[in-house]
Amino acid sequence: MPAVATEDEVRSRLERLAALGARSSELAHELRNALAVLETSLHLVRKSLQKTDDYPRVEKQLARMAEQIHNGQALVREALDEVRGHGPERVEVDLRSLVLEIVGGVARPDHVALDVEVGSGKVTVDPRLMRQLLLNLVRNAVEALAARESGRVRVVARREGPHLLLVVEDDGPGIAADVAPRLFEAFNTSKANGTGLGLVVCRRIAEAHGGRIVARPAEPRGTSMEVTIPVS
């Protein structure tokens, strides 16, 4: 039976969350300024190289750097929106393109296989928030397999009537018994250097879209994270 948090534990947790919220806002502003400097510098580098013989060789890398800067700027905007209480900015996107682009950006070791099953059609979501949610879940799944000689991560995304179903499943060791009861609470983690905030963010994103996220045991082993979001 899971232990019930005492009043002092609850107060301590709330104080840590309040301090984290204030510091997160400061960091978001600092990161936004740093990314703006990087964006300007990259623009100048690209401009100076465009008329040289080296440009075709580095063009793809420069484009990738620009894309990652833009992704970072989007994450900063999302963090500031969270602090200000802004809701998701839903737009209609192609489900397959969105999921494949997000999953394709996740680094994973050679011993971890990745299976992706994506349905077709359009969904109305906040693509920035969906990126953050799916990246967090896939990275967690990959990290769960770090100590194994081989492993598999399965990502499923499809429409089910008026809902979008996202499933990220791994065949790792599963969720520790002492972590499971408070899996979606801040600072609850089994990782040595973890903060326990990744799944908190995922839950908030799902709930901001009017949906939910649940964790289930995968068969025959591992963990399955399932997100259901109304999209019409």
Could you state, in order of their start, the residue ranges of all structural domains in the chain? 7-84, 91-230
Q: Which residues of 107-144 are buried (b: 16+ CB within 10 A; e: fewer)?
A: ebeeebebeeebeeeebebbbbbbbbbbbbbbbbbbbb
Q: pLDDT (tens digit, 9 = 90+) per residue, 5-51?
A: 566 665 666 666 566 566 666 777 788 888 889 999 998 998 889 88
Mean of all residue pLDDT scores within the chain: 82
> What is 91-230's CATH number, 3.30.1300.30, 3.30.70.250, 3.30.565.10, 3.30.428.10?
3.30.565.10
Fill in the DSSP letter of residue 185. Answer: S
Tell me the residue ranges of DSSP E strands in the chain: 91-94, 112-118, 122-125, 151-160, 163-170, 212-217, 223-230
Q: pLDDT (tens digit, 9 = 90+) per residue, 69-117?
A: 877 777 777 666 665 656 788 999 999 999 999 898 888 888 999 999 9
CA-based end-to-end distance of the chain: 39
Fill in the DSSP letter of residue 87. Answer: -
pTM of the model: 0.64
230 upstream amide cis, omega within 30 of 0: no
Position 20 scores a pLDDT of 59
Query: Domain 7-84 has what CATH class?
Result: mainly alpha
Residue labelled with tokens 């296989």: 113
